[in-house]
């Protein structure tokens, strides 16, 4: 058995190194400010879960050329980062701090933060484009095309952006249905996890059926994680949650727990988590660290 | 000789039809608002110059499968549109109207406008990804990879976004060098014109040398257009310019004319325009409409 905590920090370091190496060096005197702002948020720590999951999914399917997955890992993390920068803006969540540092628009200014977000989203696809335009193997180019399609789809109106829009609208409502809440969790949270797991699989040459399983696992992890978050907010441990408990109630936020009650939420969370682990076990490869990582996400202690 | 005005409106209609056909139909009840906001700005008229130039460049090089160029035309126009939505935001230019209609954040709200911009930028690449993932011809897939790289490069920190950052910073300065001004024109204006002309060429199978010529033509058009704008603001015709003359002086804006004087500006504008036309003539194909379109852009009457 592996010591998960030690393994996790080793993997975070590994991913961090890849992200540093993949971020292009830019020396453009007149536009340096936007690059500085992009780097400020991109290299602000973070758990690096999404690129880590992508790499481990690639390894699960025995991908043999890790250089192929690195630009996609970096691209996905750039997309995650840009969404945080724009989310923090005054017109959105209006947050001054993130991970103990000033948010991008507080450290720089609003105009720069808008451009830095745009810049990261664009740069994500630029990395993918560079990786594709220099690909000489026809089979690999086709895999990269599919990975590119998955990335753009999960990040956009059919994925993360769609979830953000629905979330903003739900916050202004007094009634939210379970269907609507699941739409938000699926798109706002699960979509990028699905991107991570499926892109790793696609690039490693997994079959369509295997990719579909990874997509399902990503959905289950994303939604189970959110329900767990709601449960922890209700009964839980402030330290584990990273924010004061009871905040949902205070903000009159409609969550899975307020809609379905604690017991049913717990049951559904366990069902989703269990199914994710079972599905992972049906796949031919074995990646002990990925299994442990997934378990740690969806079974955080209460 | 063709009647340019009639030809132009015929071409605008043609492009408009392509854009409508390429914009995906989305029915997502919970995120419909962001799609509505995206469509509001995307279908607000506009001259459609960039997609038109791309199509005409494709035709100049005798491209034979126009279905290939359509997603890229739409993607480029989406990128242009998102940049206008974000530019109009209160933290940027703070404009209430564009083309006689309320700006996106005035018609919807700031949060939606930020997401709509993000959504269009992302959707641009999603269209490209769909077109690549369904491509079965290896040669065409390689061309599309190159076109994708060009698009992402010209739209990002090495192109449009870089130019916008430099422009915002220049506005806060009392001294701006000619080099800095040319950097802004090159990146903020010329980059997407370069994308239009080169992507059309790449997709049609032009040689590298031909693509480089189109890149140069795009640079000349973009910079000549901006200098012409500065000249018109100083001496010109309000109707042609579409804004009150003398506005640069009133805003104490540093332009090519304030830096170099009218005579030198006029000379440089003519040099750039002449070189663009000459370069276009050295290319093997012949596209009378494209030549007329380029001439109309850079020799607007005074």
Assign residue A275 the CATH number of its domain. 1.10.600.10
A vs B: CB pairs below 8 A: 181
Residue B151, pLDDT score? 98
A-chain CB neighbours of B72 within 8 Å are: none
Q: Which of B141, B165, B178, B187 should be substituted to probe chain A, the one whose Cβ sees the most A Cβ atoms within 10 Å?
A: B165
3-state SS of chain A is CCCHHHHHHHHHHHHHHHHHHHCCCCCCHHHHHHHHHHHHHHCCCCCCHHHHHHHHHHHHCCCCCHHHCHHHHHHHHHHHHHHHHHHHCCCCCCCCEECCEECHHHHCCHHHHHHHHHHHHHHHHHHHHHHHHCCCCHHHHHHHHHHHHHHHHHHCCCCHHHHHHHHHHHHCCCCCCHHHHHHHHHHHHHHHHHHHHHHHHHHHCCCHHHHHHHHHHHHHHHHHHHHHHHHHHHHCCHHHHCCCCCHHHHCCCCCHHHHHCHHHHHHHHHHHHHHHHHHHHHCCCCCHHHHHHHHHHHCCCC
Determine the pLDDT at residue A165.
Answer: 97
Smallest CA–CA separation between A159 and chain B, in Å?
Answer: 10
Contact A132 B145 (CB under 8 A): yes
CA distances from B173 to A27, B126, B260, B294 (A): 21, 38, 18, 33
Q: Give the pLDDT confidence score for residue B238 in this predicted structure.
A: 62
| A141 interaction partners in chain B (CB closer than 8 Å) | 138, 141-142, 145
Least confident piece of the model among A161-165, A227-231, B56-60, B275-279 = A227-231
Question: A133 vs B28, which has greater pLDDT?
Answer: A133
* Strand partners for B101: B98
The C-alpha of B23 sits at a distance from chain A's nearest C-alpha, in angstroms, of: 13
Q: Which residues of chain B have pLDDT under 70?
A: 1-2, 237-243, 300-302
What is the least distance, in Å, from the CA of B7 to any CA of chain A? 35
Name the burial class of residue B115, with classes exposed (0-12), middle (13-18) and buried (19+) by CB atoms within 10 angstroms of its CB: buried
Distance in angstroms (rounded) separating the CA atoms of residues A134 and A57: 24
HSE (side-chain half, CA atoms, 13 Å) at B97: 4
Q: What pLDDT score was predicted for residue A229?
A: 87
A302 pLDDT higher than 60: no
Question: How is residue B78 annotated by DSSP?
Answer: H
**Chain A interface test: which of B28, B29, B30 (most A C-beta within 10 Å):** B30
Banded model confidence at residue A239, pLDDT cuts 50, 70, 90: low
- A74 near B CB under 8 A: no
Number of domains in chain B: 1
Mean pLDDT across the stretch A17-43?
92
CA atoms of B192 and B197, how far apart (whole Å)? 9
- A290 pLDDT above the threshold of 80: yes
Six token digits for residue B168: 């915002």
pLDDT tens, B205-220? 999 999 999 999 999 9
Domain range for B133 = 4-298
Q: How much is the pLDDT for B240?
A: 62
From the CA of A3, how many Å to the nearest CA of chain B?
Answer: 40
Q: Which residue has the tokens 């991107």?
A: A195
**pLDDT tens by residue, B88-119:** 999 999 999 998 999 999 999 999 999 999 99
Return the CA Rg of chain A.
19
A216 and chain B in contact, CB less than 8 A: no
pLDDT band at A300 (very low <50, low <70, confident <90, very high): low
Q: What is the pLDDT of residue A1?
A: 55
| Best to test chain B binding among A106, A113, A119, A122 (most B CBs inside 10 Å) | A122
Which residues of chain A are within 8 Å of residue B126 when distances are taken between CB atoms? 149, 152-153, 156
């Amino acid at each position: 058995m592996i010591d998960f905590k030690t393994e996790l920090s080793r993997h975070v370091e590994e991913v961090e190194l890849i992200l540093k190496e993949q971020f292009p060096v830019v020396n453009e005197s007149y536009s340096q400010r936007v690059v500085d702002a992009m780097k400020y948020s991109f290299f602000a720590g973070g758990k690096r879960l999404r690129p880590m999951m992508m790499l481990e999914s690639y390894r699960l399917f025995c991908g043999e050329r890790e250089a192929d997955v690195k630009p996609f890992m970096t691209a996905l993390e750039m997309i995650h980062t840009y969404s945080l920068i724009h989310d923090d803006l005054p017109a959105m969540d209006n947050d001054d701090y993130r991970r103990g540092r000033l948010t991008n628009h507080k450290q720089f200014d609003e105009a720069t933060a808008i451009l830095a977000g745009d810049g990261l989203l664009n740069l994500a696809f630029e990395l993918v484009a560079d990786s594709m335009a220099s690909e000489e193997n026809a089979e690999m180019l086709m895999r990269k095309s599919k990975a590119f399609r998955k990335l753009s789809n999960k990040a956009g109106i059919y994925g993360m952006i769609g979830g953000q829009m629905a979330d903003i609208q739900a916050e202004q409502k007094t009634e939210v249905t379970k269907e609507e809440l699941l739409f938000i969790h699926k798109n706002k949270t699960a979509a990028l996890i699905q991107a991570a797991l499926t892109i790793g699989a696609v690039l490693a040459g997994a079959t369509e059926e295997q990719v579909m399983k990874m997509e399902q696992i990503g959905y289950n992890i994303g939604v189970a994680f959110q329900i767990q978050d709601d449960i922890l907010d209700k009964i839980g441990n402030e330290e584990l949650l990273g924010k004061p408990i009871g905040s949902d109630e205070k903000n009159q936020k409609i969550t899975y727990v307020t809609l379905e009650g604690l017991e049913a939420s717990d049951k559904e969370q366990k069902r989703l988590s269990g199914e994710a682990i079972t599905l992972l076990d049906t796949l031919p490869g074995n990646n002990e660290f990925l299994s442990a990582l997934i378990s740690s996400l969806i079974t955080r202690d209460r």
